Amino acid sequence: MTAIATTTEQLPAVQADQQTAGAGQYLTFVLAGEIYALGILNIKEIIDYGNVTEVPMMPTFVRGVINLRGSVVPVIDLAARFGKDSTQVAKRTGIVIVETNDDENNSLQYIGIIVDAVNEVVDISQQDIEPPPSFGTGIRPDFINGMAKRNDRFIILLNVNRVLSVNEMADLSKVTAGNLEHGSS
């Protein structure tokens, strides 16, 4: 009979670039019934949902663009980005303007994300943050920086540069455009 115990050397390696979120202030928001958070250093402002101009041949999670004081800002439906149903616009639906790094050019990019409702800014200590789970959250594990415990609930701490990767979204829009040109979807 063979042994069923394994050593840690036999286990698959965990992604080396996955880093657990640190203590600090986070903006919490609701999306499809779950509570998520982004570090406030990435948040530039919160605006009411409105005046989104659709852009043809974009992935389904790209709702369009808005004019933010003369700048064109893409608006991402975060629920759709996570592979869920599109966000239904309601009274508390908002757009959170987030600052991300463009992976390729190492430049700053502003992106709007649609959320069901913005909750509050909370202080989260390091002792309340658990490493991200590898499964069971309903979204890609690389989108999560950690799970924060607060008021007997978990808050999913998002990795803003992964969720809103400009290069990945551009690649997805090229695939969408190619599918439309060839008559498939």
| Alpha helices by DSSP H, 112-165 | 160-163
Tell me the pTM.
0.78
Looking at residue 84, what DSSP letter applies? S
Domains of the chain (ranges; CATH) run 20-181 (2.40.50.180)
Q: pLDDT tens track of the chain, all 185 residues?
A: 444 343 333 333 333 344 567 889 999 999 988 999 999 999 999 999 988 999 988 888 999 999 999 999 999 999 998 888 899 999 999 999 999 876 666 778 899 999 999 999 999 999 999 888 776 667 788 889 999 998 888 999 999 888 888 777 666 556 544 444 444 44
Q: 114 with 87: CB under 8 angstroms? A: yes
Classified as helix, coil or strand, 170 is: helix
Q: Looking at residue 75, what is its pLDDT?
A: 95
| Alpha helices by DSSP H, 28-126 | 78-81
What phi and psi, each to the nearest 5 degrees, are found at residue 42?
A: -90, -15
Q: Looking at residue 142, what is its pLDDT?
A: 85
Q: Looking at residue 133, what is its pLDDT?
A: 76
Query: How many whole angstroms separate alpha carbon 50 and alpha carbon 116?
Result: 13
